[in-house]
Amino acid sequence: MVHLRIVAPPDRADRVYALLCATPSAIDVIRVENASTRPDGDLIMCDVAPEDASVIISQLREHGLHHDGSISLSPVDTISDFADAAVAHAPGSPADAVIWEQLDQRTSESVELSGVFLIYMVLAGIIAAIGIFLDSEILVVGAMGVGPEFGPVAGLCVAIVQKRPQLAKRSATALAIGFPLAISATVLATLIFDGLDLVPDDFDVETHQLASSISRPDAFAFIVAVCAGAAGMLSLSTAKSGALIGVLISVTTIPAAANIGIAIAFGNWHTALGSTGQLAVNLAGILVAGTLTLYIQRLLYQRRKRHHAQEMA
């Protein structure tokens, strides 16, 4: 269940309370008059089935509670036959429910162009470069897990589906600065490693097996990116973090960026171009699949809203 804590101004508290009492997927409806200060109003609480959480929140927003009241939500474990009945009334599975307000919060946090984001990009690029030098798939996979780039890509998907230009701008800015910074850091690290004679003597960016595979995008690279994009968006929208970790280590965005930096440092522009193609293919595949997945989920949500409106009519 999802717990809602609402502060409703006195002129709308009766309507909000009546709305929740009339909703079959809402239980434990509690009202405490004049309980809140800043904002002033009545405190109204309830537990709702996850499938209907966003539907009910959208109705509360229609009453303007997000402007001169407040709406808070959090997951709760409710043990009650009433809770079972509320979940059964809401169509679908609670595990598949998309709470759009939580998705907005997650994406807004993950697309911030912060110092931590940039540090993670730099560290991921350097770790991937070392993995390429040592032909260590473990290090490359570790770098893919460290890379935070999926957040801004997911933010772009959300921005496209919800038509939010400001979120799209923030997401694109994070990617446009993050990847060049990771590549530049890798170039500098490679030159330092080479100057300190840390790079293996037999390393050749053109013939190295791991490096060459990253610089040659093919159909399978796009297919993997599409699958990862769909899986990543599903994991983000349904809060399945374990699946998201799998997504992060399945697409070679960070390794491709690292390989670009290595190739530039050694003056191999052909490999740098190929790795750039690999990076572009992966980002495009993730973006297309993530947007399509989220669009389908949005259509299902809109259908649920219409069904709920008919029930309440």
Q: What is the pLDDT of residues 39-57, one digit of tens each?
A: 999 999 999 999 899 999 9
What CA–CA distance (Å, rounded) separates 28 from 132? 57
Chain-wide mean pLDDT for the chain? Answer: 88
**Would you call 4 helix, strand, or coil by DSSP?**
strand
In this model, does residue 236 exceed pLDDT 70?
yes
The pLDDT of residue 44 is 97
CA distances 64 to 75, 187, 200, Å, are 23, 52, 64
Kindly give, in sequence order, each residue whose CB lies less than 8 Å from that of residue 219, ignoring residues fewer than 6 positions away. none
Averaged over 256-263, what is the pLDDT? 94
**Distance separating the N- and C-terminal Cα atoms of the chain:** 24
CA distances 246 to 99, 187, 251, Å, are 22, 28, 9
Choose the most confident range, by mean pLDDT, from 99-113, 141-155, 173-187.
Answer: 173-187
Confidence at 304, pLDDT banded by 50, 70, 90: confident
In this model, does residue 192 exceed pLDDT 60?
yes
In this model, does residue 244 exceed pLDDT 80?
no
Q: List, in sequence order, every residue forming a beta bridge with 73; answer none if it has no partner.
A: 4
Averaged over 176-195, what is the pLDDT? 96
The pLDDT of residue 4 is 96
pLDDT above 70: percentage of residues in the chain: 95
Confidence at 249, pLDDT banded by 50, 70, 90: low
The pLDDT of residue 277 is 93
Q: What is the pLDDT of residues 284-295, one digit of tens each?
A: 999 999 999 999
Helix (H) or strand (E) holding 45: strand 41-48
Q: Which tops the pLDDT comparison, 42 or 104?
A: 42
Closest by CA to 157, choosing from 86, 223, 228, is: 228
Q: How many CB atoms lie within 10 A of CB 74?
A: 9
∠ Cα 240 241 247 (to 5°): 100
Confidence at 217, pLDDT banded by 50, 70, 90: confident
Helix (H) or strand (E) holding 3: strand 2-8
Confidence at 242, pLDDT banded by 50, 70, 90: low
pLDDT above 90: percentage of residues in the chain: 59
The pLDDT of residue 239 is 64
The pLDDT of residue 45 is 97
What CA–CA distance (Å, rounded) separates 28 from 46? 5
Averaged over 201-224, what is the pLDDT? 78
Place of tokens 């701008």: 169
Q: Name the DSSP letter for residue 274.
A: H
What CA–CA distance (Å, rounded) separates 275 from 257? 7
Structure tokens at 44: 């109204």
Confidence at 234, pLDDT banded by 50, 70, 90: confident
Q: What is the pLDDT of residues 150-173, one digit of tens each?
A: 889 989 999 999 999 999 999 999
Which amino acid is located at 256 in the chain? Answer: A
Place of tokens 């840390």: 198
Confidence at 311, pLDDT banded by 50, 70, 90: confident
What CA–CA distance (Å, rounded) separates 254 from 143? 7
The pLDDT of residue 28 is 95
∠ Cα 8 11 17 (to 5°): 50
What CA–CA distance (Å, rounded) separates 71 from 7? 7
The pLDDT of residue 279 is 93
Q: What is the pLDDT of residues 80-101, one digit of tens each?
A: 999 999 988 887 777 778 888 8
The pLDDT of residue 125 is 95
Q: Name the DSSP letter for residue 147.
A: -
